[in-house]
Structure 1
């Protein structure tokens, strides 16, 4: 396999739980803790804007309600996406992918974009994310890793911009997972950490795939997976884990 260019430690949704997830504020908190790689969730608004949000609905992490993907960006951009977390972040807006791209590129950070489509919008969202990345990331920079649980989203990204690296997200090791990842020409799998052990990691490596784990917040699990040959760990605990892969603080 070619050398893996992405940092070992990845800050989940910006800075996990120290700041409101998937906001620019969360990215800044993660960076303040030394992180240089970030994971985030991206979906499409009703009028085609790419923005960061994990849930299909707005209720949990914003002042809005209803299905986010059914609303225009002009409405979404006015929502409070920080007040649910704490008063310190009240008024923090939803982050557009434009804003995140500018921040990441300006600072030379790595990015893992989880394509998180509104149900029924899998192909449209995968296509839009891949085209955006292909247009906005200069050829001499490290491109985002595009991941998704939805094969249709990855297939659309593969068609739209085959040069963009892709990863299949797994919450179970369903039958045929390796064949599916290879058919989508993925460079990696990103799996729930309890699914992974030395044998599974080696199986993926033998197929030419890198392996990342989510969401690793326990030092014992971090040690176990690093010793098993994992290529990257996604964590909420940016204050607990040093982003130096050789230094896992207990």
Structure 2
């Protein structure tokens, strides 16, 4: 396999438990704990601007309601996405993909950008996120890894910017997943840690791909995955795992 340029430990949604997920504040908290790679969710505003948000709706992580993709970026950029987490983060806004790119590039951080389309926007989201990723990371030594649960979004990203690395996200080893990953020329598969075993690691490695896993927050499964030769762990527990080494601490 080609050398893998991404750090082993990846902070989930920034440091999305210790700070409001998918915000610059969460990235800063993860960085303060030594993390140099981050995962985030990217979707489109009504006027086609990529920004960070996990859910299709706003109510879980803001005090607003409704479908986020039905609002313009001008509206979305003014929403408080931090106050729900605590007073410390009141006024923290939804970041654009461009703002996250600037932060990561300025600090030399790696990014796993999950293409998280609002249902019905899969193709357009994949296309726009890939185009923007290529523009924003032009000339960067390590491009963002584009991942998605939606093969149609990854196919659109592949068509728009075939040189960017892609990863198929999986909750189960559903029928056809391996052929999809191959057809999409994925460099990696990112699977729920509960379904990973030594057979999966061996099969994916034999195909020339890497296997990453989410969301691992406890030492026991982390140790097991390290022993099996996993290529990366996405975690919320940035305060429990040392990002600088493969050792897992209790």
User: What range is the shorter-chain TM-score in?
Assistant: over 0.9
1:19-42, Cα deviation, whole Å (9 max, x unpaired) = 000000000000000000000000
- Structure 1 residue 138: deviation in Å? 2.6
Other-structure match for 1:62: 62
- Structure 1 residue 63: deviation in Å? 1.8
Q: Distance in 2 between matches of 1:45 and 1:139?
A: 27
Other-structure match for 1:178: 178
Q: Distance in 1 between matches of 2:216 and 2:201?
A: 16
* Residue 210, structure 1, aligned to residue 227, structure 2: no
Other-structure match for 2:48: 48
Other-structure match for 2:157: 157
Q: Distance in 2 between matches of 1:192 and 1:231?
A: 13
Q: Distance in 1 between matches of 2:75 and 2:110?
A: 29
Uncovered stretches (5+) of structure 1, i.e. residues with no partner: none
Report matched runs for 1:1-250 at 5 Å: 1-250=1-250
Maintained 8 Å contact 1:16/1:235: no
Maintained 8 Å contact 2:105/2:140: no
- Structure 1 residue 98: deviation in Å? 1.1
Q: Distance in 1 between matches of 2:174 and 2:14?
A: 29
1:95-127, Cα deviation, whole Å (9 max, x unpaired) = 111110000000000000000001000000000
Query: So what's the TM-score if we normalise by structure 2?
Result: 0.99
1:3-26, Cα deviation, whole Å (9 max, x unpaired) = 111000000000130000000000
Query: So what's the TM-score if we normalise by structure 1?
Result: 0.99
- Structure 1 residue 192: deviation in Å? 0.3
Uncovered stretches (5+) of structure 2, i.e. residues with no partner: none
Maintained 8 Å contact 1:16/1:238: no
Q: Distance in 2 between matches of 1:117 and 1:246?
A: 33
Maintained 8 Å contact 1:63/1:80: yes
Maintained 8 Å contact 1:16/1:237: no
Aligned length: 250
